[in-house]
Amino acid sequence: MTAVEPYPAAEDYREERGPRTPPVPGGPRPVWPAPVLRRQVLSIIIDVINGPDTEPQVRQGLHQHLDDNPGRPEQALLAHLRDWQARESRSLE
C-alpha cells in the first residue's frame, strides 16, 4: 500500500466563489454553501486526513472523494460519510 501525503491547509485550497451581490427575486440562486462553510468542512477533512490515528483506507477514500468533487468539499465529506454508513450497515448484517 502506498503512503498518502498530508493534505494542504484549508487556506491553500482553491474554492469556487459565489456571487458577491445579494440574490434578486427571480434571478439566479446564490451559490450554497457559503465559502465559510466550505472552509470549515475542508478543515474537518484535512484534520481527518492528517490525523495520526486515521487509517490509510480512510485517507485514500477522502482524497478520492475530494478529487471526484473539485471545489465542493461538502459533497466530498457527504460521499465519505455515506460510504462509511454503507460499510457499517454491511458489517451488521
* pLDDT tens profile 50-93: 999 999 999 999 999 999 999 889 999 999 999 988 888 888 87
pTM over 0.85: no
Measured CA to CA, the distance from residue 49 to residue 31 in angstroms comes to: 27
In this model, does residue 25 exceed pLDDT 50? yes
Mean local confidence (pLDDT), 34-63: 90
Mean local confidence (pLDDT), 14-32: 53
Mean local confidence (pLDDT), 11-35: 54
The average confidence (pLDDT) of the chain is: 76
82's CB contacts (< 8 A; 6+ apart) are none
